[in-house]
Amino acid sequence: MKKLVALIVAVSAVMAGDVANARSYFGGARYACCPQTVCQPTACYTSFKVERQTCYRTVFETVYEPEEYTSTRTVYETTYEDVQQTCYRTVQETQFEEKSYTVSRPVYETAEREETYTVQRPVWETSTRECNYTVRRPVWETSERECRRTVMRPVTETMERECRRTVMRPVTETVNRERCYTVCRPVQSVRTVRRVVGQWTSQPVHIPGPIVPQWTVDECGRPRCCMVQCPGITTCRRVWCPQVVEEQVPVTTYVREVVRENCPVQVTRYVPETVVEKVPYQVCRMVAEEVVTKVPVRTCRWVCETVTKQVPVRTCKIVCETQTRKVPVTTCRMVTETKTCKVPVCVTKQVPYQVTHRVARCVPREETVTCTRMVAKCVSRQVPYQVCRMVPVTVCDSCGSGACSTGGCATGNCGVPQSEGHEALKPEAEAKAKAAPTPATEG
């Protein structure tokens, strides 16, 4: 940290000295005013470049993966079996047997005679008498009694505890940085251009006639066939005659010029900071508490009461009466006879028969079951994060190292470093860069 502050102070002093020199020479010491034929060497200055470094840290995560396992369970199945059973049922059969027997047949003779008899006729009389009896009537009374019991009541209390964590707080600083950029300046010039122009002219062209056969007569008077050419025709044909003409054409070209300016650059660095937070948490404790409950109690007591009731009493009185009646008198005499009859006889016998009934039986069976369970697994992965740091860079003017002899100022690139990135590291900074770890770097 102390080295970084010292570097920032040195850069500020160098930049302040450059501005003072520019003011003292009325702007003649600026880099933009460098003439094309004369170039003065300038001093080297130190700049800072923000280098972003991508680092990786290992993060452990718990993932759950499904895992199949095989277990055995007992399954009870109900099977039914057909069982043959021999049963017996009682069958009654009726058979007839002849049997001789002697019977005495009565012979009845009827006659009448008068008879006097005394009968007693009941006479009923109804009267009322009082009947006293004692009854017991239940009387219900409701009262209350106290029932005491101890219960445990949960009491929740909220407490706070300190939780300390370190966070990286961004700190933004503004640093002046010299920036070089190239602009294109238009330059007007004249260029000679050759352009082809021409005209169409008419030229006569003779086209010969066609050759046709013709019959003639020779010296001997014989006909002979010979080829004769017909007369041709003359036509005019257009011919292009080219002509090269030189013209002066204005041309605009762009010349590259390097412009330097100081611009403020914001640099962000992260400072570790400890943050203390109070995290509330709840504590539950059980408190003994006595609860009094009033329980209704219902009691029953018996009360004796005397009840008087009118009971009807029915009295029977017997009255004697004399009556006369004719009574038929039957005289019976027995006559003996012999008869034959078939007497049914019930014979019982046991008849076997087969009965089939289903008997349920519980049979255990072992079966294999495939189940799935979630297994916790700790997996590590690399998480990238960005770290910014300031790298000191020394920029030297290339005009002092022979650029004037090669015409570097003549092209307008006075004071521009010859390297493409405009950066040149000091030997100490280069040694530190070699000693530092080389992770992935972003511009």
In a domain, 122, yes or no: yes
N-to-C CA span, the chain:
23
In this prediction, residue 6 has a pLDDT band, given cuts at 50, 70 and 90, of low
Rounded Cα distance, 301 and 142, in Å: 11
- Average of pLDDT values for 201-214? 84
In a domain, 18, yes or no: no
pLDDT tens track for 12-30: 655 544 444 444 444 444 4
pLDDT tens track for 93-145: 888 888 888 888 888 888 888 888 888 888 888 888 888 888 888 888 888 88
Pair 229, 209: CB distance under 8 Å: yes
In a domain, 364, yes or no: yes
Nearest to 253 by CA among 342, 188, 183: 188
In a domain, 83, yes or no: yes
For 166, the token pair is 């370190």
pLDDT at 202: 85
- Residue 256, domain extent: 34-442
The Cα-based distances of 294 to 101, 140, 297, 299 in angstroms read: 94, 19, 9, 16
pLDDT at 28: 42
Local structure of residue 208 (DSSP, 8 states): P
In a domain, 2, yes or no: no
pLDDT at 413: 45
In this prediction, residue 38 has a pLDDT band, given cuts at 50, 70 and 90, of very low
Task: Count how many domains the chain has.
Answer: 1
Q: Share the mean pLDDT of the chain.
A: 77
Rounded Cα distance, 254 and 257, in Å: 10
pLDDT tens track for 257-286: 888 888 888 888 888 888 888 888 888 888
Nearest to 375 by CA among 55, 69, 52: 69
pLDDT at 29: 45
Contacts of 224 (CB under 8 A, 6+ apart): 215, 216, 217, 218
pLDDT at 361: 81
In a domain, 7, yes or no: no
Nearest to 210 by CA among 227, 187, 185, 189: 227
In a domain, 321, yes or no: yes
Count other Cβ atoms within 10 Å, centred on residue 290: 8
Looking at the chain, the whole-number percentage of residues with pLDDT higher than 70 is: 80
State whether residue 92 is helix, strand or coil.
strand
pLDDT at 409: 42
In a domain, 46, yes or no: yes
Residue 406 has pLDDT above 50, yes or no: no
